[in-house]
Amino acid sequence: MRPERLKAIAIVFGLLAAAPLFLPNRYYVYIFNRGFANALAVIGLVILFGMGGQISLGHIAFFTLGAYTSAIFSVRLGWPSAAAVLAGVALASIWGAFLSVPAFKLSGPFLSICTVAFGEVVRLLTINLVSLTNGPYGFYGIPSLILFGRRIGSEKAWYFLLWSLLVFAILAAARLKRSYIGRALAAIREDETAAEVMGINVRAMKTLAFVCAAFCAGLAGALYAHMSGFLSPESFTGEQSFSLFSMTVVGGQESVLGGVAAGVALTLLPELMRFLQEYYIMIFSLIVLLIVLLPLESMMERAKMWMAGLAREGGKVPWGRCSK
């Protein structure tokens, strides 16, 4: 990456770190926290879908698993909240490894339906296992996180925690993309057979991608549980899975930073524009459809060629010919 770009990115993140000092009230900080949590989950999807080409449409299930496990461990079993978060992340990752088993054989629509079914099963279980999850009434009274003896209660404290985790996750994912693993995943995405012939362990790589994705989503979910203190099955529906997926697509699939930017922006947007609240998923889906269907790349190419053509003619205006 060019140094100027690196500098610009560093400045953006520095500004983001200072943002809570300028934001008018706590509500905005809270929305940013939600955006950071979503962005964390989107990083997982960038690894899974963008790099590995495996579609997961039940991604909110990992978020739900992380959130509910952490809540249940800290409330019902009385674990310290940090340990409960780790348990939630661990359970989500284990289920991520399980979900990679169908991906060994299946691809395309078959795999994506598999993930939809997984997401629905998790959602139905959170509604129906009333004794554990309190079902449709929602799980409340989740204690706030205590990290190294310090209680993280205020919105601002959460902001800094999520911000630093996000920066760490971005660096890790960017590193992953340039490592052997990232290149192997790209090879699998382009051609699975060829990748296998080149000596890539396709199954191990797929499992790794799923575990990374589930880890990110589970972490985001577990933190979200302690941040909001209240969980309801209503907020973990298939629509949420799709909105995570559309954040990934809007961010350019492969780009970690793009995914993070789209994750934060598409969480802020419906909050800032209240009239969109009801219909934002409709608008997201339309945006995704347009991004996929419009030949953006060739349009860019044509625009570039046109600009180059203009520059070659030395700024001659097209109607200059008429005066001759």
Partner 1 sequence: MNLATFIQLLVGGISIGALYALPALGISLIWNAAGVFNFANGEFVMISSYLMYSMLVGRKMPFLAALPITLCIMFFLGVATEKTIVYTLRRQNASPVKALVSFIALSIFLRNAARFVWGTAPRTIPNPFGAKPIEMLPEVFIMPHALWILGISLLMMAGLLVLFRWTKIGVAMRATTQNRTVAALMGVNTNRMVSLVFGLSSMVAALAGALSGAVFFITLEMSVMFGLKAFTSNIIGGFGNPLGAIVGGLLLGVVETLGASFVSSHYKDVITFSLLLFFLLFRPKGLFKLEIAEKL
Q: Which residues bind partner 1 (CB under 8 A)?
A: 53, 55, 57, 101-102, 105-106, 108-110, 112-114, 116-118, 120-121, 124-125, 128, 238-239, 242, 245-246, 249, 279, 281-282, 284-286, 288-289, 292-293, 295
Rank residues 2 and 105 by Cβ distance to partner 1 and give the closer one.
105
Min dist. Cβ of residue 8 to partner 1 (A): 30
Query: Measured from the CB of residue 46, what is the shortest distance to partner 1 in angstroms?
Result: 14
Q: How far is the CB of 3 from partner 1 (least distance, A)?
A: 34
Instruction: Indicate the residue among 14 and 108 with the shorter CB distance to partner 1.
Output: 108
CB of 246 to partner 1, least distance (A): 7
What CA–CA distance (Å, rounded) separates 93 from 214?
A: 5
Shortest distance, position 261 Cβ to partner 1, whole Å? 19
Query: Measured from the CB of residue 109, what is the shortest distance to partner 1 in angstroms?
Result: 4
Residue placing its CB nearer to partner 1 in the complex, 227 or 249:
249
CB of 102 to partner 1, least distance (A): 6
For partner 1, the closer of residues 232 and 285 by Cβ is: 285
- The residue among 14 and 136 lying less far from partner 1, judged by its C-beta, is 136
The 3-state secondary structure of the chain reads CCHHHHHHHHHHHHHHHHHHHHCCCHHHHHHHHHHHHHHHHHHHHHHHHHHCCCCCCCCHHHHHHHHHHHHHHHHCCCCCHHHHHHHHHHHHHHHHHHHHHHHHHCCHHHHHHHHHHHHHHHHHHHHHCHHHHCHHHCEECCCCEEECCEEECCHHHHHHHHHHHHHHHHHHHHHHHHCHHHHHHHHHHHCHHHHHHCCCCHHHHHHHHHHHHHHHHHHHHHHHHHHHCEECHHHCCHHHHHHHHHHHHHCCCCCHHHHHHHHHHHHHHHHHCHHHCCCHHHHHHHHHHHHHHCCHHHHHHHHHHHHHHHHHCCCCCHHHHHHC
Q: Which is nearer to partner 1, 32 or 284 (CB)?
A: 284
Q: Which is nearer to partner 1, 29 or 55 (CB)?
A: 55
Q: In terms of DSSP bridges, do strands 230-231 and 150-152 run parallel, antiparallel, or are they unpaired?
A: unpaired
